[in-house]
Amino acid sequence: MACKKPVATFFSRLTDFQDVNTMNIQTFKNASSLLSDFFTLWGSRMALVKSDVEGNIQKVSNAVCSLNCTTLPEMLAKERSLDLYKKDSSGSVGLLWLKRSFQFLVSVLWFLSKSTNEDCMKTIVSQAYDESLRHYHSRLMRHTFHFVMHALPKRSSFVKKLALDQEGCEEQVLVDALECRSLLLPFVARLEELLIAYKLEQPL
């Protein structure tokens, strides 16, 4: 029997960010958990991407802990004052790549929300990749990413995972995906603003 409105979908866990300007560490942890778990849904197909995301989350967590920070702006400021912020192992560089991964997620959610059963996940993810991560990847990384896309699951299978294995909930999943995107956009925009201010990022 088709569900009219599920009790919850994968996206139900995300709540509105109340402190986008402050960017406290708890907000970062909540958003990062969603990002990591989203890639977990792909299984081994996205293992490389998931590993990279989790590595960058750890970089930020290590920096926040060692520098005793309560917000992301504080971490960026302290790492710059110590001339650490452009080192590959820094929390700042980790945050830079996480921001780019969030941009990819936001794009995936957009193209997924506008897709139909006629579309395949390879097309959806390729479109999202081309307008986000592709701009920052080397030729080798682009080739690797496109290779991964050929192993993506069917759209129907992925939508069911987002519905927490409930049947007939595609419409609600797509609505929730779009709402999740709307909640993430101010967060990602604030990250972009901070990273540009610290000359770690160039606007596309």
**CATH architecture, domain 23-197:** Orthogonal Bundle (1.10)
Q: How far is the C-alpha of 99 from the C-alpha of 85, rounded, in Å?
A: 15
Question: What average pLDDT does this structure show over 161-184?
Answer: 94
Which has more pLDDT, 45 or 182? Answer: 182
Q: How far is the C-alpha of 60 from the C-alpha of 26, rounded, in Å?
A: 12
pLDDT at site 113: 95
Q: How far is the C-alpha of 100 from the C-alpha of 3, rounded, in Å?
A: 35
165 CB-contact burial (10 Å; exposed 0-12 / middle 13-18 / buried 19+): exposed
The residues with which 71 forms a beta bridge, in sequence order, are 24
pLDDT in tens, 82-92: 999 999 999 99
pLDDT in tens, 98-151: 999 999 999 999 999 999 888 899 999 999 999 998 889 888 888 888 888 888
